[in-house]
Amino acid sequence: MSKDGGLLANSHQNGDIDIWDTRAQAKKITLRTGEQIDPRRNAVAFSPDLRTLVKVGQTGEGIPSMELWDLGTGTRRAAATGRKGSGSYGLPKIVFGPNGGVLTGPDQGVIDLDTGLHIIEPNQNLPEMGAISKDRLVAAQPGILDTKVKLWDGNDMSRPPTDVGFGVKLDTSIAFSPNGRVLAVTDRHGQIRLWDVQARRTLGPPLTSFYSRSTDWSPIQVVAMAFDSVGTRIMATDDEGRLRTYLIDPAELKAALCAEVGPLSPTDWKSYIPPAVPYRRTC
């Protein structure tokens, strides 16, 4: 399913993939890939501009492979292969950059969506890529016991990575804001932690977790997280299927607070603000 819910991909045993327009309730096109889609070996995803279906998997020799299928013509526009032994173990994975121009696959390289050429070559020494910024800053996928995230300059992957420490055990959801200035990562307490990429420091306190279950033996986990298209909000879902939206833009947060509680009165100001600070209208 595409992110906007407008397109649905349905695969068949003979390798055909039907693309459905869910709003018109009609088949849009059929992609004849010639390869059966196996969830254990393959993954498919729609590009952000909905022009391309990306299919990743492995060749018979165990080499990671990626194909770009044009949703307008139904033809394979480009293909790329990685290196044997490179890539992550487990299920194949597709990650798009915020600008929609590049993506990462199981070959641990970065592919240009228009040409299918490697922008960053596969590298067996790299861990699984988790996110990539518009400026090609690459963040490794954190493991469930990691307390740090490794960041590479995608324009020169030969340079050593930078370690971003959060001081707590992290979870596996990670994302860059659309402008690439903020890195968000979840922790094992169900919180979302923000990192200021330019200032190289933690950005504010953690975004609070979902409400706890009636028993506290297990923390609530964030299972999916993403920035909105302009980077002023983060949407997250927990392992009980609930959705929460976090406002992270100061102006938008101020507007929401003013709409809910209104401005501080002079009396409230004296109660909460140091006497040396003169009163001013807050909303």
For residue 28, what are its two tokens?
Answer: 């849009």
Contact 70, 48 (CB under 8 A): no
Given this model, what pLDDT does residue 124 score?
60
Given this model, what pLDDT does residue 212 score?
57
For residue 183, what are its two tokens?
Answer: 């890195």
Residue 76 has φ and ψ, to the nearest 5°, of -80, 115
From CA 41, how far away is CA 64, in angstroms rounded? Answer: 10
What are the residues whose beta carbons fall under 8 Å from the beta carbon of 47, sequence distance 6 or more?
53, 54, 96, 100, 103, 113
Query: Using CA of residue 89, residue 68, residue 39, residue 152, what is the dihedral sign?
Result: positive
pTM for the full predicted model:
0.73
Query: What is the per-residue pLDDT across 171-226, written as a single tens digit (0 to 9) for each?
Result: 888 999 989 999 999 988 888 999 999 999 999 889 987 665 555 556 678 888 88
Given this model, what pLDDT does residue 15 score?
85
* 283 CB-contact burial (10 Å; exposed 0-12 / middle 13-18 / buried 19+): exposed
Given this model, what pLDDT does residue 218 score?
64
- Using 70 as the pLDDT threshold, list the residues of the chain that sit under it: 39-40, 84-92, 99-100, 105-108, 123-126, 210-219
Contact 91, 50 (CB under 8 A): no
Report the candidate in 208, 153, 214 with the shortest Cα–Cα distance to residue 186: 208
What are the residues whose beta carbons fall under 8 Å from the beta carbon of 11, sequence distance 6 or more?
17, 18, 36, 37, 44
Given this model, what pLDDT does residue 28 score?
92
Contact 195, 139 (CB under 8 A): no
> What 3-state class would DSSP assign to 58?
strand
